[in-house]
């Protein structure tokens, strides 16, 4: 069973529909027990990093997500669900208690784009990916494939080998990470038409 984490932020139904189109039942849940018992887990999300961590903590979902990842079962993070895997974020770093902490599953942090004109923030729309250390189950997606992005911050992993795909937007940035059973993308597979469907299908069969 694919389970999609509901913490009150994100386009959950569109993610669920993308999995259903791929032929898989996908359940939206905020139940810690169901998150622990999932065969595959998806952490989506849009919005602010600190607010998302607050909601995960308030719903007692932080440890179930960490335990699932440690179990070795397939995990997919999408957009904010990628950023939350890291240790901290510049989004909200002006708070009195300092930068908000993330799940700390991957080493690194989330940083804000600092781009010259004419690049706009947020980075929004279609852009290309290029493989760095893509997992074997995604090697059927060719370099130059287009995916859909909406974000003002990007992840800066400490380990180069965690970078699965990179994208150019005024500078090269990490647009997806992969390590062991973890794959997470800054782009939205559920909004990325044929290539997004291909990615979801591959995730279901790895």
* Catalytic annotation, pick one of 79, 91, 123, 151: 79
* Catalytic annotation, pick one of 91, 151, 174, 190: 190
Spatial separation of the C-alpha atoms in residues 44 and 167, rounded to whole Å: 20
**Active-site residue 188, yes or no?**
yes
**Mapping DSSP to helix (H, G, I), strand (E, B) and coil, where does residue 123 land?**
strand
Angle, helices 193-205/12-21, rounded to nearest 10 degrees: 70
Spatial separation of the C-alpha atoms in residues 36 and 164, rounded to whole Å: 26
**Mapping DSSP to helix (H, G, I), strand (E, B) and coil, where does residue 39 land?**
coil
First to last CA, the chain: 14
Contact 123, 133 (CB under 8 A): no
**Active-site residue 174, yes or no?**
no
HEC-encoded secondary structure of 142-168? CCCCEEEEEECEEEEECCHHHEEEEEE
* Catalytic annotation, pick one of 91, 123, 174, 188: 188
Provide the pairing of β-strand 153-157 with 108-112: antiparallel
Point out which residues pair with 177 in neighbouring strands.
Answer: 163, 184
**Active-site residue 90, yes or no?**
no
Active site residues: 79, 188, 190
């Amino acid at each position: 069973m694919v389970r999609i984490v509901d913490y009150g932020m994100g386009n959950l139904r569109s993610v669920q529909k993308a999995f259903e189109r791929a032929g898989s039942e996908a359940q939206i849940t905020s139940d810690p027990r169901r998150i622990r018992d999932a065969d595959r887990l998806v952490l989506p999300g849009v919005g602010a990093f600190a607010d998302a961590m607050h909601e995960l903590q308030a719903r007692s979902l932080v440890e179930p997500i960490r335990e699932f990842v440690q179990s070795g079962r397939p995990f997919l993070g999408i957009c904010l669900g990628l950023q939350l895997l890291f240790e901290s974020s510049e989004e909200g770093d002006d708070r009195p208690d300092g930068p908000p902490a993330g799940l700390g599953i991957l080493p690194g942090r989330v940083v804000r784009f600092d781009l010259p004109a004419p690049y706009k923030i947020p980075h929004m729309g279609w852009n290309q990916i290029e493989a760095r250390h893509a997992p074997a189950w995604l090697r059927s997606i060719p370099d130059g494939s287009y995916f859909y992005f909406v974000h003002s911050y990007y992840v800066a992993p400490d380990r180069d080998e965690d970078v699965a795909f990179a994208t150019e937007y005024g500078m090269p940035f990490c647009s997806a990470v992969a390590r062991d059973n973890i794959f997470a993308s800054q782009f939205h597979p559920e909004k990325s038409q044929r290539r997004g469907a291909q990615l979801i299908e591959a995730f279901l069969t790895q």
